[in-house]
Amino acid sequence: MLVRTLRAVVVLLVFGLVGACATEPPPPPPAASTAAPAPRVDFADLEARFDARLGVYAIDTGTGREIAHRADERFNYASAIKSLLAGAVLRRNVDLDKVVAYTDADVQPNSPVTKDRRSVTVREAAEAALLQSDNTAANLLFAEVGGPAGLAAVLRDIGDTTTHPDRLEVELNSAIPGDVRDTSTPRAMAGSLRAFLLGEALPADKRDLLVGIMRRNKTGTELIRAGVPSEWPVADKTGTGDYGTRNDIGVIWPPGHAPIVLALMSSRATADASYDNKLLAEATSRVMDALR
């Protein structure tokens, strides 16, 4: 009797172990990464030479390699936000042929296109904001998406929970250190720009429209565009603010290579500090050398 009992216990144990193995297999080994290792690039010497804080985030969309320096620190985004604002207008399906009227009181400094007019189409406002950084045009676009809160909602919808829209032009350029208003990080700005220009945030026709406009931008000739060969297509948007804020975010199309998304953001210590475009141009050259 004792022998039979022991045999039954052994059988139960064996089948119990088999059942456990069948329902709880060991976890598979982690998949090997296929992305090339990220190159190491030091920007500290540029910061010292130009007496500036520099944020860099770049991603090679073909290989997945990234370059990051202060990529998760906050900077005032200044007029670089106009690229994401235009993307939000397109994502909200605003009628580009809609005529928007405005008054003398709405006209802001640095409004080369809108200052002598009192109405523009939404398309004209988008082109003015992107190509000449027209501030009145930007505020008209803000109105079309529901203000800074509306822009924030669109950005959250595409996965950007970092960028912090709060004010209109020209107040959004104050760049007070420690003030989270109207700030973002290089990584977040690059991610949102990538979503609008290369990803699925916009349908193909609107994506092509935004890319086409931004490729014609002339305000960045001394920034990202100065750091790559002149024949390479670049779609970018610059920004300038207090505390020496100088930014440029864009997509670069090297011949025969997948696009590279690059966000450069910089600032200095005092409210009236100037900026030097060579900082961002040299940073761009350093990024491209490393990725190539």
Query: What pLDDT score does 37 carry?
Result: 66
B/e letters for 37-47, b = 16+ CB within 10 Å, e = fewer, are: ebeebebeebb
Structural domain spans, the chain = 38-291
At residue 195, the 3 state secondary structure works out as: helix
Query: What pLDDT score does 218 carry?
Result: 87
Helix (H), strand (E) at residue 5: helix 2-23
Residues near 30 by beta carbon (within 8 Å), at least 6 away in sequence: none
**pTM > 0.85: yes or no:** yes
Q: Tell me how far apart the alpha carbons of residues 175 and 79 are, in angstroms, rounded to a whole number.
A: 12
Query: What pLDDT score does 85 carry?
Result: 99
Positions marked active-site = 79, 169
Query: What pLDDT score does 252 carry?
Result: 98
The dihedral region occupied by 110, where left means phi > 0, alpha psi between -120 and 50, and beta the remainder, is left
Q: Which of 226, 266, 224, 265 is nearest to 244 (CA)?
A: 266
Query: What pLDDT score does 209 carry?
Result: 98
Query: What pLDDT score does 273 carry?
Result: 98
- Give mean pLDDT in consecutive 10-residue pieces for the chain, a chain of 292 residues: 39 37 37 56 97 98 98 98 99 98 98 98 98 98 98 98 98 98 98 98 98 96 98 98 98 98 98 98 98 90
Query: What pLDDT score does 135 carry?
Result: 98
Query: What pLDDT score does 35 carry?
Result: 52
On whether the 38-291 domain is CATH 3.40.710.10, my answer is yes
Q: Tell me how far apart the alpha carbons of residues 177 and 65 are, in angstroms, rounded to a whole number.
A: 31
Q: Is the CB of residue 56 less than 8 Å from the CB of residue 70?
A: yes
